[in-house]
Amino acid sequence: MNENVLEKLKTLAESAKYDVSCSSSGTVRKNTPGGIGNTVGGMGICHSFTEDGRCVSLLKIMLTNNCIYDCAYCINRRSNDIRRATFTVQELVDLTIEFYRRNYIEGLFLSSGVINNPDYTMERMVRVVKELRTVHRYNGYIHMKSIPGASQELVNAAGLYADRMSVNIEIPTEKNLQLLAPEKDHLSVFKPMKYIQQGMLQSIEERQKFRFAPRFVPAGQSTQMIVGATNESDKDILTLSSALYRRPSMKRVYYSGFIPVNSYDTRLPALKQAPLVRENRLYQADWLMRFYEFRADEIVDDAYPDLDLEIDPKLSWALRHPEMFPVDVNKADYSLILRIPGIGVKSAKLIVTSRRYGKLNAYQLKKMGIVMKKAQYFITCNELPMNTINEVKPEFLRKILTETKKKKGEIDQQQLSIIFPD
């Protein structure tokens, strides 16, 4: 690797770190005779995880950090005086193959700033992934960003070579996007999303008729929203996420806590650090919508437009709805068991399966991995119930559970002070 490429690599890898929407998936692209790489290879400079929990390493890189836009929240905005670099198509292809051969990476996450116009940039990104697939016969995982405003022809071309594509919404509402990025609009984001969805549905239909029809973005698409740069409530964010998940092609919505990289811009809030707790609560709420059968308007509504930062969204919902509890785990259906704090998806399935062979008690539930310290207030089983939420009352129960958490945190801090004294 020559010095020029190495310097570009340092610059563009640094510029790419703020995009969090890069997660590998369960897609299968097997190796072929004479080819290299595959998406289901062994454990392997960004770490991500497949659906089966396997950790994979991705080269997370930008084609260029030059950009025609001046978005207030972006480190790569055109008005910033930062080191700029642009890879040629061949440099980026050779870099990816060289890193793979050295076993540094198992896949590629490719994004870019916008140079000249969206199509100009998108065309070069497509050339990178096309050459990797067709010339080098690379069968590893590729996640490619679609440039907002790119033409349908280029999006369709990219979808034939990428495993996953993403188009970042960035700011949840059009009004605030216009405030911080007046050169952009949501239409330029939703159009490529629609092109990707259409391509995926068409590909599925073709593969039902023709076994060897080409696959189109087999791992689906994702997007990212910045949290805390503008005044949207969690209700605004989760309502948009819920609408996106109703699209058959949308696999993940990522939430990125706002990092004040351009503190001189008065349109941005003055934060000392990214709102990581809020970001974490949004991911928990997102999980409830995707796997726990919650609707967005159950998690947040007009009365509670923002998530509780002190407790997780599932517990918050349960405390607001004491009339739903206690739940008899030996009789309740799966959907209701999912809503019990302390019980996860695997545990709920295990309860439904196990109770066919006999009634369950607290000891058996604990053996299943249920968090009984939390769940005990919301359930009844094959023994006398303990104090439930109706006896303890939601306000007092919240105090009990949060104080336990605080005490555990204090103990952890004491242990750390012993191990790492000041």
Tell me the pLDDT of the chain averaged across its residues. 88
Q: Helices 152-159 and 187-209 sit at what angle, rounded to 10 degrees?
A: 50
CB 56 within 8 A of CB 24: yes
DSSP letter assigned to residue 323: G
Token pair, residue 303, equals: 């009365």
Place of tokens 């609408």: 243
Token pair, residue 190, equals: 């939703």
Token pair, residue 41, equals: 């290879």
Q: Is the pLDDT of residue 53 over 90?
A: no
Mean pLDDT to the nearest integer, 375-404: 86
pLDDT at 302: 94
| Domain spans in the chain, listed from the N-terminal domain onward | 3-299, 318-417
Place of tokens 């073709």: 206
CB atoms within 10 A of CB 419: 7
Q: How confident is the model at residue 244 (pLDDT cuts 50, 70, 90)?
A: very high
Place of tokens 């590909």: 203
Return the amino acid letter for 96: T
Predicted confidence (pLDDT) per residue in 268-325, tens digit: 987 777 788 999 999 999 999 999 999 999 999 999 999 999 999 999 999 999 999 9
Q: What one-character-per-residue DSSP string does 335-369 give?
A: HHHTTSTT--HHHHHHHHHHGGGS---HHHHHHTT
Backbone angles phi, psi at 341, to 5 degrees: -55, 140
CB 150 within 8 A of CB 114: no
CB 139 within 8 A of CB 30: yes
Strand partners, 138: 36
Q: Is the pLDDT of residue 330 over 60?
A: yes
DSSP letter assigned to residue 322: G
CB 163 within 8 A of CB 29: yes
pLDDT at 415: 40
Predicted confidence (pLDDT) per residue in 368-377, tens digit: 999 999 999 9
Q: Which sign does the torsion angle of CA 136, 139, 141, 143 carry?
A: positive
Q: Is the pLDDT of residue 25 over 80?
A: no
CB-based burial label for 395 (10 Å; 0-12, 13-18, 19+): exposed
Q: Please tell me the total number of residues recorded for the chain in this structure.
A: 422
Mean pLDDT lowest among 73-77, 86-90, 208-212, 403-407:
403-407
Q: How confident is the model at residue 20 (pLDDT cuts 50, 70, 90)?
A: low
**Global confidence as pTM:** 0.86
Q: Helices 89-101 and 118-134 sit at what angle, rounded to 10 degrees?
A: 40
pLDDT at 317: 97
Token pair, residue 48, equals: 């991500």
Q: How confident is the model at residue 351 (pLDDT cuts 50, 70, 90)?
A: very high
Going by C-alpha positions, the residue among 118, 122, 184, 109 that lies closest to residue 156 is 122
CATH architecture of 3-299: Alpha-Beta Barrel (3.20)
Q: Is the pLDDT of residue 43 over 70?
A: no
Strand partners, 328: 380
Predicted confidence (pLDDT) per residue in 57-104, tens digit: 889 999 999 999 999 999 999 999 999 999 999 999 999 999 999 988
Going by C-alpha positions, the residue among 304, 360, 315 that lies closest to residue 340 is 315
Strand partners, 379: 327
Rounded (10°) CA dihedral 392, 398, 400, 401: 130
Mean pLDDT to the nearest integer, 240-263: 93
CB 292 within 8 A of CB 345: yes
3-state DSSP call for residue 408? Answer: helix
Q: Which sign does the torsion angle of CA 293, 299, 301, 305 carry?
A: negative
